[in-house]
Structure 1
Amino acid sequence: MHNRASRASAIAGVVCLVLFALLAALLLTVDRAPIAGDGSLVGLASLNASAHSLLGESHLAETLSNVLLVVPFASMLALAVMGIRQIIVRRSLAGVSRDLWLLLGLYVVMLVLYVLFNHVSTNNRPLLQDGVCEPSFPSSHTLLAVTTLGAAMVQAGQRMRQGGARTTVVAVCAVAMAALVIARALSGVHWATDILGGILLGAALVAFYRAIAFGADDDKAARGKHARR
């Protein structure tokens, strides 16, 4: 990666990942108090308790956040169909574009992180749900929304020509992402730091994907543009 856009994506990924790690470290060491739904310790307790009191709890917002999951799953399905179409047309797995294979890898990494943090979490949720207080950091809804819809926006920017269709796709993904994250924050089932953690980790994954999947293409485009001058 020698072009400016790819370097910027890689740097953004590193910054987001470092901030995520720093947040996790703070949650493990600073202001831990038994404010979770099961009485377990929560890091940055004063901040999280204040934010939870301010945002409140909303069953409607929780329901909306679950309903809105249809958008990231739809984006994943659309990109999967694109890959399947390439296999059919080119009659080979090798015919699938490199960026789509890397996108599959991104989804696998996201799933692994989901399972990992579902078993190893710094905090538990503010509320008991069905008598259980689940791990809450980072917010899996937020991680899913930022990662899948962020990647879909990257794909739209790379594969679609400038115009109304691309603008519409990017706008729908951005609005759905924001709505899902906000709804999750207002639902009251997560601490504010859970939402922030999901945003940072998801943004890091998307930035690294952008840098790795399309860095070479950007280099070729830049060289071609330079050659035409």
Structure 2
Amino acid sequence: MKKSNKKNFIIAGGLFLFFLLWTVAVQYVDVQAVGPKDSEVGFATFNGFFHNLTGTHMLIYTITDWLGLIPVFVVLGFAILGLVQLIKRKNLLKVDCDILALGGFYIIVFIAYILFEVYAINYRPVLINGYLEASYPSSTTLLVMSVMPTAILQMNRRIKNEKVRKVVKYTILLFTLLMVIARSISGVHWFTDIIGGVLLSTSLVMLYYSIIKSYE
């Protein structure tokens, strides 16, 4: 393995460690019952300040929920690409390595999503249909910031036209940025939930990047 790629794996591990430390901090630092139904959240002073600053905007929440289907369709698209390769080549090992790695990456993201739905670190600052829902890390942030950057990596490898590649890249980056900002100001997550989603997704994307680089 090249020295530079070892560094990529170290960065991925460091980011994941930072996520773990952040997750622990969220459960123990300045925990107060400032949420609905006296639900507790860490960094309560800051989270409460930011939530009061932005307010709650259910329209933005609904829009970002629907736009969250875009990463789902991206996942479906690459799954179909992998299936087509498998059918044509009649051997799983002959499917492009980066596509196989991407499939494994999607599985890890899905497991993380389910894990934090089952084991709730904290709950949303607002009730959804009268119920408390798990809020950490922001699942929409996790989904968008995991799927869309890896889509850019795939497009960089598969789109030959440089101009088209740049347009696709910057369109995806803009979409990702706007989704994270919109989710942050929608008021349906504590700000620490957004940070948790960013940290986890960034560590996973860096891991995927390190793996596909090791194939080269």
Question: TM-score interval w.r.t. the shorter chain?
Answer: over 0.9
Deviations 1:125-174 (A, max 9, x none): 10111111111110000000011111111212233336012112211221
Once residues 3 and 152 of structure 1 are traced to their aligned partners in structure 2, the CA distance between those partners, rounded to angstroms, is: 26
Size of the aligned set, in residue pairs, is 216
* 2:191 alignment counterpart: 192
Gapped regions of structure 2 (runs ≥ 5): none
Deviations 1:5-60 (A, max 9, x none): x2343233122212211211111111000012221211110011111111221112
Kindly tell me: are residues 202 and 25 of structure 1, through their superposed partners in 2, closer, same or farther at Cα, counting changes over 3 Å? Answer: same
1:39 matches 2:38: yes
**Mapping of residues 1-229 of structure 1, within 5 Å:** 1-4=1-4, 6-161=5-160, 163-217=162-216
Query: What is the one-letter code of the residue matched to 2:47?
Result: N
- Could you state the TM-score of these two structures normalised by the residue count of structure 1? 0.88
Once residues 210 and 92 of structure 2 are traced to their aligned partners in structure 1, the CA distance between those partners, rounded to angstroms, is: 23
Contact 1:185 1:195 in 2 (8 A): yes
Query: What is the one-letter code of the residue matched to 2:48?
Result: A
- Could you state the TM-score of these two structures normalised by the residue count of structure 2? 0.93
Once residues 202 and 191 of structure 2 are traced to their aligned partners in structure 1, the CA distance between those partners, rounded to angstroms, is: 17
Which deviates more from structure 2 when the two are superposed, residues 96-105 or residues 160-169?
Answer: 160-169
Gapped regions of structure 1 (runs ≥ 5): 218-229
Structure 1 SS opposite 2:102: helix
Q: RMSD of the TM alignment (CA)?
A: 1.5
Deviation at 1:192, TM superposition (A): 0.2
Greater gyration radius: 1
Identity, % of aligned positions: 33
Q: Which runs of 4+ in 1 moved over 6 A?
A: none
